[in-house]
Amino acid sequence: MTSLNDDAELRRSLRLLNSVLTRVLNTQGRGEIATQVERLQKRFASLARDGNPVRRQQLLDSLHDLDAETTSEVVRVFNHYFSLLNIAEESHYLRQRRRQAERGGHYWPGSFHDTLLWLRQEGVDAENLQVLLDQLRYLPVMTAHPTEAKRRTVKGALRNVFVSLETLAHGRLKGYFRKEAIERLQSQVQLLWKTDEVRLRGMGVADEIDTGLFYFPLSLFRATTRVYRNFERSLQDVYGEDAAHQIRIPSFLRYGSWIGGDRDGNPNVTPDTTALAVRLQSRTILQEYLRRLDELHGQLSHSWGFCELSQEFVASLEHDRSELGHAIIELERPFLQEPYRHKLMLMKYRMARSLRRIDRLIAGESEPPDSQAYPSVGEFLNDLQLIDTSLRNHSDADIANQELHDLIRLTETFGFHLMQLDVRQESTRHTEAVADILKATLGIDYLALAEADRLKLLAEAIALPGGLQFDRAAIAAPTRETLAVFETMARMRREIGGECFDKYVISMTHHASHVMEVLLLAVQCGLAGRLGGRWFCHVGISPLFETIDDLNRIEEVLTDLLDQPVYRQMLDACDERQEVMLGYSDSCKDGGILASAWGLYRAQQLVIAITERRGLKCRLFHGRGGTIGRGGGPTHEAILAQPPDTVRGQIKFTEQGEVLFYRYNNMETAIYELTMGVTGLMKASLSLVKPVPQPSPDHLAVMGELARLGEMGYRTLTEQTEGFLDYFYEATPVSEIGQLNIGSRPSHRKKQDRSKSSVRAIAWVFAWAQSRQTFPAWYGIGSSLSTWCAGKADRLDILRDMYRDWPFFRNLLSNAQMALCKSNMSIAREYAGLCADPNTGRRAWDLIAGEYQRSVDWVLQVANIDQLVAENPPLAASLQRRDAYLGPLNYLQVSLLRRVRAFPPEDASDSPWLKPLLRTINAIAAGMRNTG
């Protein structure tokens, strides 16, 4: 029986894929390219063994001898190797989990079965489990942040390769059938080779919307229903059949999106874009409902007289016939003897009318409400539940529990909106709009007011029946555009349904007035206000705290906000939790990983304490990126690392770029990732039903000191080191990344501003990762640990206790280990050599390399291991497999950066070396499995 760490199968799969790629290159007349790749690998391996300067020169000479076309194809081979390696690993780990399930029921760490067993062992009985489940809400939010370097066409081709490998890996194919499957695999790899992985044009917001929707019919619709089914089956296994019948598993999954709603720093996201996003999302889910109704129609062939239909079902059928009248006479004729098919035909007719209306609105046509379409998801769900109840009444529960059950789950999860769209904008835009409106209506200089006076004025204006009255022509164009966003939200809610939007997120929330300003703008557009003496509010507002200073300001902002009577009345009218968003990316870019992680930890504790004192429920929204330097890492462990008693049944977090591809491009992987997230949420929510242990006060104090030391070291490097920003722009490909056409949002908040505050966290992390200097994820850890322990031997034991007993600290250092593994200071020195001033390059590199070694040494000591990621052998093996290919690519990239930058800036786009350079960015991203 194959052990979990036995990668013999993986090696076989990788050999197969590599041999197929080699055959493709040979059949396409590119055999010499494979030879060049092998030569580069061998020369890099020789250099890596001893660092001999002669070997380095041999490698550089090999690179210099390549012409632009050959270089481009060599890079493409590296890129395809990484893509095939990723596929082989994903397929291998899926097979391992299948075997675990076959051997032990549903046992694998983090599975529903494993988690429910743990809950039982913790004393959670069926009654308490129901309490926990009733508050469960798992909400991943897709964003368009430009961190995915793959084209959608390439992702589709890679999926085809994955499916073919899965077919071959089962081992059941023999002889002719195996030969045929290998030929199919080869044709797919050949097609991949013939597909350009570099985008020739920039992505628009509509492209980003399409990319986000791509994963739902591909994997997420099926994965979502499978997650619910796996949970139901595990519940029965662990708690017993009787308890399982008593416990109700709610539809706890929801999906969110920022794509088409995130206008912070992106001038391409307009009100029309937001309307398009909502309508395209609605079309996607309505198409799925139609497809599934068609499946049900083919299955529920019960005839009159062979089943005892419920009176409610019969009444509903007759009501529909009466309402639809002549329009359905011919359509229903074949199904008059089959009541369920008859009902489903009418439901299909109504759903098709709903879809047709959305299609026309997307096409820009004026389309009034259709009385024969479904007016709301509630009516559609009611029809499904009528069929379900009727089936169960005549002993056909087994039939009801199949496809119909799945469709009900989907309807409860996705509504008619698919994803709840968040709208995001930066706070100053609202301040300027409110100032403009108050100047036009009341002649008040709002910008001159102190914060307390602003809050008083805003509260009075919000309470005005009907809002402020003013002439739209008298206000500035940016103000009209800001108001148009709220008007679009109101229109889409009427058109699609009340759940199509989730929250209005305010970037750079520095004061309580920033939230009240958004509320006033919502009042102006009918989204909130007071009518008949009663408050109503159809927009939830989520303040976003991003930088270290923002995190330190939370108590002041939230206290001022939640003590505003008008705001509290609006919040009560919403009947929702107060949501607070925490930004991982900017806080890490600002103050380093230790200050960011600790600031976020304390912020969560503080937010929960502030809201709890006021009797409010709160949901934390985690703005995580894909990489460690932007809050990334395994979701299950990340949730468990949150402060105890802060999760409380609900979690919301961003999913971006390459994370979407790696988690959701295949159904089984999507099931695994969703399951791991939900079970992490369940474990972290244990405090809902029983007291949970708190971290040691001594450990908290130590962490505070480590964070202070770490921030000091990070700021010294990034803000006080002479020429450091020159080093960033010259010793990384940050400027060239902007030419990859991977997103619609600019990489800088302000054009031509090369400051640390202007560059976006995505570009910051992406560039450092490309140059193998992933220091945002670990810089400051080594110096803080060594300083804290200096001369005091007993302190290392304290740190080891923290690593063993405190999930937060363990997760922090585990993620740092992964990032340290992806760093390579020898390669980073080659990038440092790109600096115009050699002293600048040497100075910055010396600081980063010195901290790298300190961090490695101290993390190993604290974790009490001999090498990085020793506690995760599969990850260690995966990183090792990549090194031999990543190294030559990095050397190639450095060489290409020199060649491209040798051209005058205005002529750089004409350089024959530019496209090979862009290909290296794609390839290195594939090799490291992340970008920004």
Between CA 454 and CA 446 the distance in angstroms is 7
- Which of 368, 374, 341, 327 shows the shortest CA–CA distance to 355? 374
Between CA 430 and CA 420 the distance in angstroms is 22
Spatial contact of 221 and 291, defined as CB atoms under 8 Å apart: no
Long-range contacts at 248-253 (CB < 8 A, ≥ 24 apart): 248/130, 248/133, 249/133, 250/133, 250/134, 250/136, 251/409, 251/412, 251/413, 252/133, 252/136, 252/137, 252/138, 252/678, 253/138, 253/139, 253/224, 253/227, 253/228, 253/413, 253/674, 253/678
Q: Name residue 541's beta-bridge partners.
A: 504
**Can you state the percent helix, strand and coil of the chain, rounding each to 5?**
65, 5, 25
Query: What beta strand segments (E) does 538-590 contain?
Result: 540-545, 578-583
Spatial contact of 603 and 545, defined as CB atoms under 8 Å apart: yes
Among residues 302, 510, 589, 636, the one annotated as catalytic is 589
Question: Strand 540-545 to strand 534-537: parallel, antiparallel, or no bridges (unpaired)?
Answer: unpaired
Count CA atoms within 13 Å of residue 777 on its CB side. Answer: 33
Is-catalytic flag, 622? Answer: no
Who contacts 242 (Cβ-Cβ below 8 Å, separation ≥6)?
Answer: none
DSSP 269-293: --HHHHHHHHHHHHHHHHHHHHHHH
- Distances in Å between the Cα of 637 and the Cα atoms of 139, 319, 551, 642, 647 are 17, 52, 23, 9, 13
Long-range contacts at 226-234 (CB < 8 A, ≥ 24 apart): 226/667, 226/671, 227/253, 227/671, 227/674, 227/675, 227/678, 228/253, 228/406, 228/409, 229/406, 230/106, 230/111, 230/112, 230/671, 230/675, 231/112, 231/678, 233/106, 234/106, 234/111, 234/112, 234/113, 234/116
- Which of 189, 200, 198 shows the shortest CA–CA distance to 28? 189
3-state secondary structure of 325: helix
- Distances in Å between the Cα of 191 and the Cα atoms of 89, 196, 332 are 21, 10, 46
Spatial contact of 225 and 157, defined as CB atoms under 8 Å apart: no
Who contacts 64 (Cβ-Cβ below 8 Å, separation ≥6)?
Answer: 895
Sign of CA dihedral 371, 373, 376, 380: positive
**807-822 and 794-805 helices, crossing angle to 10°:** 100
Between CA 494 and CA 508 the distance in angstroms is 30
Between CA 658 and CA 624 the distance in angstroms is 13
Residue 925, phi then psi, degrees to nearest 5: -60, -40
- Tokens representing 480? 């009209």
* Position 477, amino acid: A
Is-catalytic flag, 194? Answer: no
Among residues 80, 106, 145, 748, the one annotated as catalytic is 145
Who contacts 887 (Cβ-Cβ below 8 Å, separation ≥6)?
Answer: 44, 47, 48, 824, 827
Cβ neighbours of 179 (radius 10 Å): 11
Can you tell me which residue has the tokens 């709009």? 433
Can you tell me which residue has the tokens 């499995």? 929
CB burial of 765-802 (b: ≥16 within 10 Å; e: otherwise) equals bbbbbbbbbbbbbbbbbbbbbeebbeeeeeebebbebb
Between CA 508 and CA 544 the distance in angstroms is 6
Catalytic residues: 145, 589
